[in-house]
């Protein structure tokens, strides 16, 4: 896709107002999605579950889980069409300095968890290709994260 087409597409999404009048929950969701940006071919369902579980630990997300998942899916679909850092910028505008710090800490936790998950998956695939005994591989992987 040409650069000008991408810019036009992004403008349309922002002009629809999706990133206007955001709630605090919307802002946290956008920031969490930015932190968990998936690699090509990565299982989106796993990331949605991870983000949902992380967000739901916060009292701000004292809502039905289906609402949290719907919010994640709504913004995930839209953020795939725009420069996601622009969505984060829109989200930050509705947060107080304290909530920005809180959202940053949440993003850091999500990045840590997603990196551990990605590393574990990569090592599991590698151990399989190298014909490493599963128990030995699991023990090695567990020791890496316990010692880090």
Residue 58 is classified by DSSP as S
The CA distance from 96 to 86, in Å, is 18
Residues near 11 by beta carbon (within 8 Å), at least 6 away in sequence:
none
Query: What confidence tens digit (pLDDT) does each residue in 63-85 have?
Result: 888 999 999 998 988 887 778 88
Does residue 37 surpass a pLDDT of 70?
A: yes
Distance in angstroms (rounded) separating the CA atoms of residues 41 and 23 = 31
**Alpha carbons 4 and 24: distance in angstroms, whole number:** 32
Give pLDDT, residue 34.
Answer: 93
Q: Tell me if 54 sits within 8 A of 31, measured CB to CB.
A: no
Other beta carbons within 10 Å of 64:
9
> Which of the pair, 21 or 107, is modelled with greater confidence?
107
Average pLDDT of the residues of the chain: 85
The confidence score (pLDDT) of residue 15 equals 47
Strands (E), 32-148: none
pLDDT of residue 47: 85
């Amino acid at each position: 896709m040409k650069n000008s087409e991408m810019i036009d597409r992004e403008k349309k999404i922002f002009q629809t107002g999706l990133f206007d009048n955001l709630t605090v929950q919307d802002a946290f969701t956008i920031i969490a999605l930015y932190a968990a940006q998936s690699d090509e071919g990565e299982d989106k369902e796993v990331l949605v579950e991870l983000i949902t579980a992380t967000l739901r630990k916060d009292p701000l997300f004292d809502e039905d889980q289906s609402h949290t998942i719907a919010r994640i899916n709504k913004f995930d679909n839209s953020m795939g069409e725009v420069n996601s850092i622009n969505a984060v910028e829109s989200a930050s505008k509705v947060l107080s300095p304290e909530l920005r710090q809180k959202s940053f800490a949440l993003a850091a936790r999500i990045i840590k968890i997603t990196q551990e998950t990605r590393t574990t998956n990569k090592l599991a695939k590698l151990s399989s290709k190298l014909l490493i005994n599963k128990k030995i591989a699991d023990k090695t992987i567990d020791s890496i994260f316990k010692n880090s």
